[in-house]
Amino acid sequence: MDQLTLAGTQLSSRLFLGTAQYPSPDALAKAIEAAQPGLLTVSLRRESAAGKGQKFWEIIKGFNIPVLPNTAGCHSAQEAVTTAEMAREVFGTNWIKLEVIGDDYTLQPDPFALLDAAETLIQKDFTVFPYMTDDLVLAEKLIATGCHILMPWGAPIGSGRGLNNPYALKLLRERFPEITLVVDAGIGAPSHAAAAMEIGYDAVLLNTAVAKAGDPAAMAGAFSKAIEAGRAAYLSGIIAPQESATPSTPLIDKPLWHQGSF
């Protein structure tokens, strides 16, 4: 399959996998093994002498998969910028999934704070992966700020609703053919991820759908196949839907056929 390259780094898969909410560290490791994701998302929290976060990192670093730290839980541009700077210190990468929450009920990103934070971080040499709504004008402004990757939501984080607004997502794809587009959040079933890939998205980022599945490793494998299938379908040229039927089996020379039978 054609490989995705982000900021000069070739990724082995178009599935980006979150590392939170797994029933155990072992379940996380098995899900990563089954998914073989191109990217793993990680986060930052207060560390203590007990070194809880260090143990988590031991699992992740063994896979040798690029990591994308996030600014989850930030509610202001300043908070997100500081968290991004600390993430760069901890993980040694200038990639950041920029997340600035504007509404606690839907976890909808705050577009204004997102834009402010993106501008500051790009000036500080970060490669910003903004987690955003599917708003076209916001996308234009983020691109004008210097973002080359956009990550619109499919649906609210953890909702498993799939693609709430396929029209808006398709529009972003059509309007920004040169931008790397990733559906981030809201994915529930592998078919949702395949649908995102079929409309030309470059990758899908998901977490809860795998972590909370009955069998996370098996679900991770299912998502991996769905994303691969969706990408192959997009590249192969999906037929346009039409209202009327067209017989798929040729009628000429069918048994008992004779001139004038129709």
Partner 1 sequence: MKVVINGTPKDFTAPLNLYDILEQEDMIEMMIAVARNNVVVPRDQWSDTPMEDGDSLEILGPMQGG
Positions annotated as catalytic residues are: 97
CB 150, min distance to partner 1, A: 18
Q: Which is nearer to partner 1, 70 or 145 (CB)?
A: 70
Q: Which is nearer to partner 1, 11 or 157 (CB)?
A: 157
Rounded Cα distance between 105 and 123, Å, is 32
Rounded Cα distance between 9 and 148, Å, is 14
Q: Which is nearer to partner 1, 81 or 115 (CB)?
A: 81
Which residue in the set 3, 5, 33, 86 belongs to the binding site for partner 1 (CB under 8 A)?
A: 86
- In sequence order, what are the residues at sequence separation of 6 or more whose Cβ sits closer than 8 angstroms to the Cβ of residue 151? 97, 129, 130, 131, 132, 181, 182, 183, 184, 205
Closest CA to 109 of 166, 56, 67, 70: 70
Rounded Cα distance between 26 and 12, Å, is 22
3 state SS of 174:
helix
Which residue in the set 2, 24, 54, 236 belongs to the binding site for partner 1 (CB under 8 A)?
A: 54
Query: Which element (helix H / strand E) includes 128?
Result: strand 127-132
| Tokens found for residue 156 | 């609210």
Which residue in the set 5, 10, 26, 52 belongs to the binding site for partner 1 (CB under 8 A)?
A: 52
In the chain, the amino acid numbered 54 is: Q
Q: Which is nearer to partner 1, 107 or 198 (CB)?
A: 107
Residues 132-151 contacting partner 1, CB under 8 A: none
Rounded Cα distance between 210 and 31, Å, is 8
| Tokens found for residue 144 | 């004008």
Q: Which is nearer to partner 1, 69 or 111 (CB)?
A: 69
Residue 166 is a binding residue for partner 1 (CB under 8 A):
no
What track of x and - describes contact with partner 1 for positions 167 through 196 (by CB under 8 A)? ------------------x-----------
CB 255, min distance to partner 1, A: 58
Residues 116-135 contacting partner 1, CB under 8 A: none
What track of x and - describes contact with partner 1 for positions 8 through 47 (by CB under 8 A)? ----------xxxxx-----x------------xxxxxxx
Rounded Cα distance between 60 and 63, Å, is 6
Which region among 65-73, 138-146, 162-170, 190-198 touches partner 1 (by CB under 8 A)?
65-73
Which residue in the set 57, 108, 165, 168 belongs to the binding site for partner 1 (CB under 8 A)?
A: 57
Please report the sign of the dihedral spanned by the C-alpha atoms of residue 193, residue 196, residue 199, residue 201: negative
> Number of C-alpha atoms within 13 angstroms, CB side, residue 177?
1
3 state SS of 51:
coil
Q: Which is nearer to partner 1, 57 or 176 (CB)?
A: 57
Which residue in the set 30, 36, 75, 85 belongs to the binding site for partner 1 (CB under 8 A)?
A: 85
Which stretches of the chain bind partner 1, using CB under 8 A? 18-22, 28, 41-49, 51-54, 56-57, 60, 69-70, 72, 82-83, 85-91, 157, 185, 207-208
